[in-house]
């Protein structure tokens, strides 16, 4: 459902959040390796997220990317920044004129999926997902 850039972005932010809980600021090489993504692509996505204020960065020898420990960043914030809100509002077939009054063939079925995805992303805190990673309940890379 998400673009490849969004998938890498979410994985990168989750790794950054996990490391931030340990007062660490990973660099691009560490992030790319940890989430199994190409380093140049990871750099581009992380720079976009940093410019938008989604993640923070510090330059220098002890620099890297991080989140504040009390961050209230939601999954929806990452998705909206990288993919835009189209995934939460658009037609599943990409039709411009799709609406309740003029529906595409899968409009009604997709509305339930789209609304469920939006609700899940808006109600999911990145730091909670990072805690699950730290506790070994979930994983980013096999």
CATH topology of domain 4-134: Arc Repressor Mutant, subunit A (1.10.10)
Residue 76 near residue 122 (C-beta atoms within 8 A): yes
- Give the pLDDT confidence score for residue 142 in this predicted structure: 61
Report domain extents, the chain: 4-134
Q: Helices 126-134 and 75-83 sit at what angle, rounded to 10 degrees? A: 110
pLDDT in tens, 41-78: 999 999 999 999 999 999 988 899 999 999 999 999 99
CA-to-CA distance for 91 and 54, rounded, in angstroms?
27
pLDDT tens digit sequence for 100-132:
899 999 999 999 999 999 999 999 999 999 999
Whole-model pTM? 0.91
């Amino acid at each position: 459902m998400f673009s490849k850039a969004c998938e890498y972005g979410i994985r990168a932010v989750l790794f950054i959040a996990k490391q931030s809980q340990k007062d660490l600021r990973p660099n691009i090489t560490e992030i790319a390796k940890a989430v199994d993504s190409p380093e140049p692509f990871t750099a581009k996505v992380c720079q976009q997220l940093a410019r938008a204020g989604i993640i923070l960065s510090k330059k220098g020898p002890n620099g890297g990317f991080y989140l504040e420990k009390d961050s209230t960043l939601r999954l929806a914030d990452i998705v909206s920044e990288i993919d835009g809100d189209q995934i939460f509002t658009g037609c599943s077939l990409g039709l411009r004129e799709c609406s309740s009054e003029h529906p595409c063939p899968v409009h009604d079925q997709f509305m339930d999926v789209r609304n469920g995805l939006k609700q899940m992303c808006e109600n999911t805190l990145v730091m909670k997902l990072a805690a699950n990673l730290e506790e070994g309940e979930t994983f980013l890379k096999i």
